[in-house]
Structure 1
Amino acid sequence: MEQRALWSAAVVLGLALAAGCGSAAGPGPSGSSGDKLVVWDWKSGDANVAAYLDRAKADFAKSHPDTEVEFVAQPFDQYYTLLGAAIQAGKGPDVMLFNGGGQIRDRVDALVPLDDYVSQDKHRLAGWDAFTEDGKTYAAPVTLQGHPLYYNKALYEQAGLNPDAPAKTWDAFVRDCGAIAGKTGAKCFGVGNKEGIGIQFFLSAIGPATLTPQECDDWVAGKRDWTSPNVKRVFELWKQVNDDGLNNDGVNSTAMFNDAFAVFQSGKAAHIIGLMSDIGHWKDFGEFLDPADVGVMDAPVVNPAATPSLPYDGGIGYAVAKWTRDPKLAADLVRSLTSSEALEAFYAEAGAIASDTTIDVSAGGPAASTIVAGIKTGKPALHVALSSKTIDLMGRLSQQLLSGSTTVDEVVAQLADSDRAS
């Protein structure tokens, strides 16, 4: 069985490499004569990013007219497996897309530090920290990704609540959820944890309303105290919300993508911790609900000593493989993929909150404007600071916590051990 799995992985990798291996030829005087760059991602097959890629390629062609650029879209559910195999083989694409956080930090040994190539873009783009390790930058951010707490203003109105003044404290929030359930039948939260993702969203959205600002800063800096009562309180709330019936039924069997979002979009839940970009975000919700009814609120304060803020980081970004023959040429392509013109198209067509925060999002409606305004005081998402190994463990333990097969004390103890070992 193991031999078959290894053979299958090898076949998949072989096909992926055949579909697009890095093949930058030796550069001519301008670094762009007869060259080819291959890009791996999971986005380029989507119709709503076509305009973004067209603008990026046009920008790159201005200075490298003879360099061919080939985008190879890989399936996201296999992406990091394929990428890991390519890294182990020491060959593959010249440029590759990464999520910010643990996914890229676990693989920086295979990447080119980009600081010497993108320094002039640092002032224009936000979200760099999610692609940085040991003081070096390994990818340029394309989007910002975070976890706003969205709410349905129409349900608030039906429940006799002021849709423009959502609750500021946790106790008041729970009371409002009770009023909404009584008048509309809608649950408080739409949640999906089949993949173990729901806990990530919950930790990053509710954590800043529960931990003190110093605890949040220490957490992101790697000085995490898993024994803190405030950290334990986040996991206690995760269980309590579900035990009290505030979530949709069957959270552990509900996929975040896209079943949980459908619960919110259909008006069956008044709130959802969603995303800023890509999917399950303001533009998606505005296609099902009246955009004016899609609200964004601060997380209700659990701990009076906490200061809620928008949790966000760099969402996705392009990196350069260490094996590419011409790092500067590949880095020039990364710069084109983060040009203002390209990112403006990404926002307009896909609804992404781009890393270039100078882009005017006022036409996107009140939710997008509220999100962008929150970036000024926002802080990194707590789950992004964790290693991919600890993230995976947290997902499994969060399912056990909801099912009642483990305790909060056991969960934080295991996560602390994993975090220390990462």
Structure 2
Amino acid sequence: MKRFVAPFAIGMGAVLALSACGGAATTTTGDSADDGKLVVWNWGSSDDAAAAYQDAVLAAFNEKHPDVEVEIVSQPFDQYYTLLGSAIEAGTGPDLALFNGGTQLKSRADQIVPVTDELADIKDQLAGWPAFEDGGETYSAPMFLQGFPVYYNKAIFAEAGLDPENPPTTWDELSDACDTIASETDVSCFALGNKEGLGIEFFMSGFGSGIFTPEEYDAWIDGERDWESEHAKQVLQLWADTSADGWYNDGANSTAMFNDSFDLFSGGSAAMVIGLSSGIAHWKQFDDFLGEDLGFMMPVTVNDGTTLALPIEGGIGYGVLNQDKVELGVDWIKATVDRDALADYSIAGGQIVSDTTIELETDIQSAQDIVAELPGSKPLLHTALGGDTLDLLHRLGQQLLVGEVTVDDAASQLAASEG
């Protein structure tokens, strides 16, 4: 019998830098003079469930604006923000564009029309707002909650002689488990794709609550960061150490995270992976391959005085770029959080949605476990960073993985990047 899990309302900060991929590129002139047309950019519908959700959003919008033509332009994700920036600079940008919350949206807040008052009536209905707020203004509504759960393969744990129902809870236990997996199986401990440099942000946000004290964690999110502090350098050191200790698949720096590294986990070539809670590489997709062998584990305790928390926050949302289309844009945003559309997508697409009134109907245990941890969750550490610092972190993460830079030098560069 299927069980119902009700998402809890939670306070969250900035958001993940990746939530979906796909879509074929088309072009648009962003005809802002045409009041009967709305040009919307996103990065495509990667599967049937995503396409059905987009159709439901379009239907909800058309109920209010039957005479408005909506042109949906799907750009490739790996070029999305570059193409969007070029179009805006050339004056040919869309009326609305899809954004990852946190760094990607906040770094472009001066280009997005604030809609604080216009979205006030749905404020209490959704969780994840801080990812779409900056300087006291609201720029979009969160559609989903996005985070970095650690998933593991119970069958591989059992093969290695580990207890599949009791995953590691401390760093020492995790290190011992990786040593055992290396000696007793032919798979890697963790699946990692770091071709794009994203691995270190998954690592930092995924394990951060077990490294930083709650006070340090909150200060980091609030912008009070010291990259040369003991625990910030410890993040970098542990990242380098895990590579040196052979935790990852060969060629991690030349393996794409989306979707090659996640395919390694799904295919049984790795015991664990830091995945996502929504969008892609999440509980529903992994369950399709692993079934009852799919497990979810919380971050592990690294230091005394820490409080473990699921790293999760608001995910993606549309921002209005055309001041002349604010009314239409706000109605599109509200259509993206239409309760019926989100409820259907939460099941078909495996999303942890932002609407806290929607019950997640699933018998997948990892989804139930994730939702149970929402009340004590924390925002993602890496999405509190500015765009330049995040780009630098990606490059240094690749270098640390193969020993091309020292931890002290990496910390110094990151500190300098934030002034």
What is the TM-score when the length of structure 1 is the normalising length? 0.89
Partner of 1:220: 221
Local SS of the residue matching 1:69: strand
Alpha-carbon distance in structure 2 between the residues aligned to 1:143 and 1:22: 28
Local SS of the residue matching 1:226: coil
Partner of 1:16: 27
Compared with structure 1, are the counterparts of its residues 201 and 130 closer, same or farther at alpha carbon in structure 2 (3 Å cutoff)? same
Alpha-carbon distance in structure 2 between the residues aligned to 1:38 and 1:46: 22
Partner of 2:254: 253
Asked if residue 295 in structure 1 is aligned to residue 295 in structure 2, the reply is: yes
Is the CA contact (8 Å cut-off) linking 1:126 and 1:356 kept in structure 2?
A: yes
Alpha-carbon distance in structure 1 between the residues aligned to 2:118 and 2:46: 28
Is the CA contact (8 Å cut-off) linking 2:243 and 2:402 kept in structure 1?
A: no
1:178-193 map, 5 Å: 178-193=179-194
Compared with structure 1, are the counterparts of its residues 226 and 209 closer, same or farther at alpha carbon in structure 2 (3 Å cutoff)? same
Local SS of the residue matching 1:284: helix
Partner of 1:381: 380
1:319 is displaced (CA, Å) by 1.0
Local SS of the residue matching 1:17: coil
Local SS of the residue matching 1:71: strand
Alpha-carbon distance in structure 2 between the residues aligned to 1:378 and 1:43: 29
1:159 is displaced (CA, Å) by 2.6
1:192-211 map, 5 Å: 192-211=193-212
Partner of 1:367: 366
Alpha-carbon distance in structure 2 between the residues aligned to 1:142 and 1:275: 15
Partner of 1:5: none
Partner of 2:98: 97
Partner of 1:83: 84
Is the CA contact (8 Å cut-off) linking 2:275 and 2:282 kept in structure 1?
A: yes
For 1:265-293, what per-residue CA distance to the aligned partner results, in whole angstroms no more than 9, with x for missing partners?
12221110111112211122112212x22
Is the CA contact (8 Å cut-off) linking 1:126 and 1:357 kept in structure 2?
A: yes
For residue 16 of structure 1, what is the amino acid of its counterpart? T
Partner of 1:334: 333
For residue 401 of structure 1, what is the amino acid of its counterpart? L
For 1:324-349, what per-residue CA distance to the aligned partner results, in whole angstroms no more than 9, with x for missing partners?
42312210111011111111232223
Local SS of the residue matching 2:324: coil
1:179 is displaced (CA, Å) by 2.5
Gaps of 5+ in 2: 1-24
Structure 1 window deviating more from structure 2 (190-199 vs 67-76): it is 67-76
Q: Which of the pair has the greater relative contact order for Cα pairs under 8 Å at 6+ separation?
A: 2
Compared with structure 1, are the counterparts of its residues 67 and 364 closer, same or farther at alpha carbon in structure 2 (3 Å cutoff)? farther
Structure 1 window deviating more from structure 2 (263-272 vs 202-211): it is 263-272
Is the CA contact (8 Å cut-off) linking 2:115 and 2:138 kept in structure 1?
A: yes
1:50 is displaced (CA, Å) by 2.0
Aligned residues: 395
Partner of 1:320: 320
1:44-193 map, 5 Å: 44=45, 46-193=47-194
For residue 121 of structure 1, what is the amino acid of its counterpart? I
For residue 406 of structure 1, what is the amino acid of its counterpart? V
Alpha-carbon distance in structure 2 between the residues aligned to 1:120 and 1:165: 44
1:264-283 map, 5 Å: 264-283=265-284
1:229-240 map, 5 Å: 229-240=230-241
Compared with structure 1, are the counterparts of its residues 395 and 364 closer, same or farther at alpha carbon in structure 2 (3 Å cutoff)? farther
Is the CA contact (8 Å cut-off) linking 2:26 and 2:75 kept in structure 1?
A: no
State, as a whole percentage, how many aligned pairs show the same letter: 49
Is the CA contact (8 Å cut-off) linking 1:283 and 1:364 kept in structure 2?
A: no
Partner of 1:345: 344
For residue 240 of structure 1, what is the amino acid of its counterpart? D
1:146 is displaced (CA, Å) by 0.8
Is the CA contact (8 Å cut-off) linking 2:133 and 2:139 kept in structure 1?
A: yes
Is the CA contact (8 Å cut-off) linking 1:150 and 1:272 kept in structure 2?
A: yes
Give structure 1 regions of 4+ aligned residues with deviation exceeding 3 angstroms. 20-24, 44-47
Compared with structure 1, are the counterparts of its residues 269 and 122 closer, same or farther at alpha carbon in structure 2 (3 Å cutoff)? same
Structure 1 window deviating more from structure 2 (70-79 vs 218-227): it is 70-79
Compared with structure 1, are the counterparts of its residues 124 and 328 closer, same or farther at alpha carbon in structure 2 (3 Å cutoff)? same
Compared with structure 1, are the counterparts of its residues 85 and 387 closer, same or farther at alpha carbon in structure 2 (3 Å cutoff)? same
What is the TM-score when the length of structure 2 is the normalising length? 0.90
Alpha-carbon distance in structure 1 between the residues aligned to 2:265 and 2:126: 31
Alpha-carbon distance in structure 1 between the residues aligned to 2:191 and 2:363: 23
Gaps of 5+ in 1: 1-13, 26-34
Partner of 1:38: 39
Is the CA contact (8 Å cut-off) linking 2:347 and 2:362 kept in structure 1?
A: no
Compared with structure 1, are the counterparts of its residues 73 and 362 closer, same or farther at alpha carbon in structure 2 (3 Å cutoff)? same
Local SS of the residue matching 1:370: helix
Compared with structure 1, are the counterparts of its residues 175 and 387 closer, same or farther at alpha carbon in structure 2 (3 Å cutoff)? same
Partner of 1:7: none
Is the CA contact (8 Å cut-off) linking 1:195 and 1:395 kept in structure 2?
A: yes
For residue 297 of structure 2, what is the amino acid of its counterpart? M
